[in-house]
Chains A and B, each alone.
Chain A
Amino acid sequence: MIELAGISKTFNHGKPTEVNALNGIDLYVEIGEFLVVVGSNGSGKSTLLNIIAGSISPTQGTVALDGRDVTDLADYQRSRYISRVFQNPLSGTAPDLSILDNFRLAALRTHPKSLKIGIDEGFKYKVMEKLSLLGMGLETKINQPMGTLSGGQRQALTLLMSVMANCKILLLDEPTAALDPRSADIVMRTADKLTHDFNLTTVLITHNLKDAFTYGQRIIQMTEGRIIHDLKEDEKAKLEQADIFKWFS
């Protein structure tokens, strides 16, 4: 589903501040695979995710999604494949817009936003139905501005919004970093459930090694722009939580 070939990224090329964020990354993520990426700060995890999403273009190498070369497509042009959940719970939703408006936009992710009024009773019902899945009691508050909700609620809604339109790839960039343990748990469970239910290809970046252990079928560790550990499904199953901790010592 996601195919990275020979990806390198150099920031501030030719300046004293030059940084090689990624050095020749080759990565193939299969359909329906839940990939966990761990690594210390500055190891290139976020750059990798941004390159998949198209927010950053690689210095070298090619990106293919679903068998199609998308290296030259900008992030908004790749949105028909990709849904993203950001580290900052506030980035994934528009605070001044109502929950309903946010979901309307999410439902149109793969469609042009036309000059028609698209929110009707049927759509409201659909959103309320989706919201009730979360069990947060938000289905009665669809006209409330998104900004009035807590970070955890907003992050959970961002996840839910990603499956409003046909989504194939889910990119999670430390989605729980800013959340309390309980909200973080809800968000991670929702992500896991959606990955299974909708057969999504998911890439999760996390610093929480417990989450890295609990979720996902495959785990990779990055250091200095390289992949140094790559454990597939059966190997990850055998992995102990302590083993992952050792990678960082």
Chain B
Amino acid sequence: MDFLLTAILQGLCFAGIALGIYISMKIFNIPDITTDGSYMLGAAITATLFTHGMKFYFILPLVICAGALAGVLTGWIHTKLKVNALLAGILVMNGLYSINLTTMGRSNLPLRDYTTIFTRLKILPDVNQNTLVFAILAVAIMITLIGYLLKTDFGIAMRATGNSETMIRSLGVNTDRMKIIGLAIANALTATSGYLMTQLQSFADINMGIGVVILGLGAVIIGETMINWFNITSVWKTLLIVIFGAILFQLVLALTLSLGINPNMLKIVTSCFVLLFVGIPRLTIKTA
């Protein structure tokens, strides 16, 4: 059962990516794949600051700012230079690889000897359970903040930006600015995922960001499928389901691995799983 708990913990750490992709893809309708880079950016900064003895409570704000900056850059390239959003994301993601590598100084930084966010306070005696409590707490804070944001007047304007751009411009919203802010929030959340994951696994590796965007996409798509099934419109429930999607995704991957499938095949399993969730609703509609 231990691998299931690990999967849940990983799923919770990926919640930030899931929420980030939800914001960029579902709310702003922008396919943002800066994700791989900004996730790694969060991880690289976390590991580097830990090993350089930075005060613990400074790390998260710095990670959030760095992630937001990556998002602003993608948003700026997309809206001001009129570059296709996908290309803008790819450019920033690619550039971040060098920045991340330079930040860390080498490709792998272990954090075995440091007290992380998960081990700082001991509420429960078992390390894994203690970690679970803090991971849930972190995700709860994220959901609360984003849920509140989306309910505010500003949040409604955000949601309308991706939904009906002509309308929201005629209602006095600078949509370029809105998109930049949205991508900043999305990538700040993604970087926070990197921050949590680095501490969960106690190391940062330059390759850990490769393909994480699909974990977020998977979570959002699983969530979307369920939202359609149950006809959900509430903002809070939607966010919770997206997080649930992220956890479910990790559980499925963990189960797949436990069945003895070659770990080299993990990425193709991931892709097939996402494809399955994208495809199922359409296939069932056809037969009905």
In this assembly, does B260 line the interface, its C-beta being within 8 Å of a C-beta of chain A?
A: no
Determine whether the beta carbon of A94 is less than 8 Å from that of B172.
no
Question: B16-24, B64-72, B146-154: which one contacts chain A?
Answer: B146-154
Contact of B246 with A by CB under 8 A: no
Any A CB within 8 A of the CB of B156: yes
Query: B127 CB to closest chain A CB, in angstroms?
Result: 38
Whether, in the assembled complex, A218 has its beta carbon less than 8 Å from a beta carbon of chain B, the answer is: no
| Chain A residues numbered 75-111 whose CB sits less than 8 Å from any CB in chain B | 75-77, 79-80, 82-84, 86, 90-98, 101-102, 104-106, 108-110
- B169 lies within 8 A of chain A by Cβ: yes
Minimum C-beta distance from B173 to chain A (A)? 6
Say if the beta carbon of A116 comes within 8 Å of chain B: yes
A114 interface residue per 8 A CB criterion:
yes
- A143 in contact (CB, < 8 A): yes
Which of A95, A114, A117 has the most chain B CB within a 10 Å cutoff?
A117
Q: How many chain A residues have a CB neighbour from B under 8 Å?
A: 38
- Chain B residues with Cβ below 8 Å from A104 are 153, 156
- B151:A92 contact, CB within 8 angstroms: no
- Whether B166 lies near A91 (C-beta < 8 A) is yes
Q: How far is the CA of A49 from the CA of B177 in the complex (A)?
A: 25
Q: Are B153 and A94 in touch, CB under 8 angstroms?
A: no
Please determine whether B163 and A113 come into contact, CB atoms closer than 8 angstroms.
no
- Whether A84 pairs with B173 at a CB distance below 8 angstroms is no
Chain B, Cβ-Cβ closest to A74: B174
Q: Contact between A108 and B152 (Cβ–Cβ < 8 Å)?
A: no
Q: Are A115 and B154 in contact (CB under 8 A)?
A: yes
Q: Which residue of A lies closest to B164 (CB)?
A: A94
Q: A96 with B157: in contact, given A76-B175, A105-B171, A115-B152 (CB under 8 Å)?
A: no
* B152→A94 contact, CB < 8 A: no
- Tell whether, in the assembled complex, residue B172 and residue A109 are in contact, meaning their CB atoms are under 8 Å apart: yes
Cβ of A24 under 8 Å from chain B: no
8 closest residue pairs by CB, A with B: A79-B172, A94-B163, A94-B164, A113-B157, A94-B160, A118-B153, A113-B153, A84-B170
28 cross-chain CB contacts under 8 A: A75-B170, A76-B170, A76-B171, A82-B170, A83-B170, A91-B164, A91-B166, A92-B164, A92-B167, A92-B170, A93-B164, A94-B168, A95-B163, A95-B164, A97-B156, A97-B163, A101-B159, A104-B153, A104-B156, A105-B153, A105-B156, A105-B157, A109-B171, A113-B156, A113-B173, A114-B153, A115-B152, A118-B153
Residues of B within 8 A of A (CB): 148-149, 151-154, 156-157, 159-160, 163-164, 166-175, 233
Known: A105-B171, A113-B154. 20 other contacts (CB 8 A): A53-B170, A55-B169, A75-B170, A76-B169, A76-B171, A76-B175, A79-B172, A92-B170, A93-B164, A93-B167, A94-B167, A97-B159, A97-B163, A98-B233, A102-B160, A108-B153, A109-B171, A113-B156, A115-B154, A145-B233
